[in-house]
Amino acid sequence: MNPRTPKSAPAMASPTRPDNYVLVVFGATGDLAKRKLLPGLFRLAAGGLLPKQYRIIGSAPRQFSLSDSDFKKHAKDAVEEFGGITPTPEAWQNFEAALSFASADPDDTAPLLAAVDLAEKEIGSKPRRLFHLAVPPAAFRSMVELLGASKLNVGSRIIIEKPFGTDLASAVALNKTVHSVFDESQVFRIDHFLGKESVDNILALRFANQLFEPVWNRDHISHVQIDVPETLSIEGRANFYDATGAFRDMVVTHLFQVLGVIAMEPPSKLTAEALRNEEVKVFDALVSINPKHVVRGQYEGYLQEDGVAPNSTTETMVAVEAKIDNWRWSGVPFYLRSGKSLGANRQVVTLGFRQPCLKMFAIDRESKGSGSGGEIVIDFGDPGSITSNFLAKEPGPVMRLGRASMVFEYQNSFNAANELEGYEHLILEAMLGDQSLFTRADGIERLWEVSAPLIENPPPVEPYARGTWGPDSINRLIAPHAWHLPET
């Protein structure tokens, strides 16, 4: 995870506050709960965005069980360490009064049932229930079945973490299990990239302005890059990562979702149904990934990491050329790259524009971006920015072109105190029952379907030095274009 700047609680009250809730976090002693969920829930509470009455029950299998007071301490430590916020005594007291802990195992659901029952009685008049499955993917199935067997599914909502399956067959099987217990309208498959302010802002940029949409197509755009390099390595996650790799960890989930937002047609209205229909249409039009147009890299020293198989061929970085076979994007390659131990921590979409058809000016063909027709660069790492790079006349007697840019920066334009982190935003949306920013069963299955040729026939991994941008072949993959990152 990226280090985050210290934050205050979001200042703006939500236009609609969720109904009263009992929220159960499965995996409450795990990494995700510590880094994101507990700090996020506290910030939502402190910002007045949680329901008037709520209870948060931390849950885990009995061998990780905590007492209520230990869970409260665990939550406070998590908020202080990862929320970048020191709670005021009053805010903390209010929040911790809502916390309790109950173990849950398929063969023993009694503690959880008792805790939910107590929380509901304390709130009174039938609060809603939300279950957050912040557990390893291998446990999704048994947790869903546990909820079905104990009837806790009835009328409840469920947030399911990524990765949703490891291939098409497992995603189909998991959807089948989920649908045997929950209706799709109760299911919120979370991808925290979709909760990022600056990813949502792509919808605003494209569809709230007349300026961009007319050029957002194959006639004007030569290629698109979705680039999410990370400097961190696998950081003790070998167990998960060595079985997963960069493609499953980042591309099938986060990067394809961003691609959906960049590439979708304008939805007829801003509803979950209309938005998700358009997103799934993009996935339908994706061409199956050709393994010949993929680079898989492994950072030097990966095989020596604790818990990594000595002969592992898992990729720690991947670069993929994706194609969308539809009227808008035919012939426009989308280059997706992500990986660990790379040269910088960035989250960037770059739209490269075609050169003007009349070449009046001498253009430096070596220079990328604006030198070849301009680019729009959307930095969707918090707090985010949008830059339009273009060519301008340099002052002086001769007509010489220089690179120039127009920049929108979130932090200088709006009240950053209102910003919600991806998880905070999505937990709130799930409580409100709005599925717009959550992935749908058919969309997920389609992404695994187009990924099948690569999963079945991956090219060999190539080594790269830590702190670089991957093996040299990433440049051949994108030629004749060039990676926007690193910025020169």
In this chain, which of 96, 200, 242, 249 binds ligand BG6, going by CB under 6 A? Answer: 249
Is 316:302 a contact under the CB 8 Å cutoff? Answer: yes
Cβ proximity to ligand BG6, 152 vs 378, nearer residue: 378
Interaction of residue 230 with ligand BG6, rule CB under 6 A: yes
Q: Which 8-state DSSP code applies to residue 147?
A: H
Cβ proximity to ligand BG6, 181 vs 428, nearer residue: 428
Interaction of residue 2 with ligand BG6, rule CB under 6 A: yes
Tokens of 41: 């829930």
Q: Closest separation between CB of residue 132 and ligand BG6, Å?
A: 15
Cβ proximity to ligand BG6, 162 vs 446, nearer residue: 162
Q: Which amino acid is located at 182 in the chain?
A: F
Q: Closest separation between CB of residue 198 and ligand BG6, Å?
A: 11
Q: Closest separation between CB of residue 273 and ligand BG6, Å?
A: 26
Which residue shows structure tokens 């492994």? 298
Out of 223, 254, 481, 484, the active site residue is 254
Is 453:290 a contact under the CB 8 Å cutoff? Answer: yes
Which residue shows structure tokens 């939500």? 14
Is 380:348 a contact under the CB 8 Å cutoff? Answer: yes
Q: Closest separation between CB of residue 378 and ligand BG6, Å?
A: 15
Q: Reply yes or no on whether 179 is catalytic.
A: no
Q: Closest separation between CB of residue 232 and ligand BG6, Å?
A: 7
Q: How many residues bind ligand BG6 (CB under 6 A)?
A: 5
**Alpha carbon distance 225, 255 (integer Å):** 10
**Beta-strand (E) ranges in 44-111?**
54-60, 99-103
Interaction of residue 1 with ligand BG6, rule CB under 6 A: yes
**Alpha carbon distance 423, 193 (integer Å):** 9
The residue nearest ligand BG6 at its CB is 1
What is the x/- site pattern for ligand BG6, positions 158-197, by CB under 6 A? Answer: ----------------------------------x-----
Cβ proximity to ligand BG6, 234 vs 285, nearer residue: 234
> Does an H or E element contain 95, and which?
helix 89-96
Query: Buried b vs exposed e over 232-257: b needs ≥16 C-beta within 10 Å?
Result: ebbeebbebbbebbbbbbbbbbbbbb
Cβ proximity to ligand BG6, 76 vs 248, nearer residue: 248
**Of residues 147, 151, 129, the one with CA closest to residue 57:** 129
Tell me which residues touch ligand BG6 (CB under 6 A). Answer: 1-2, 192, 230, 249
Residues known to be catalytic? 254
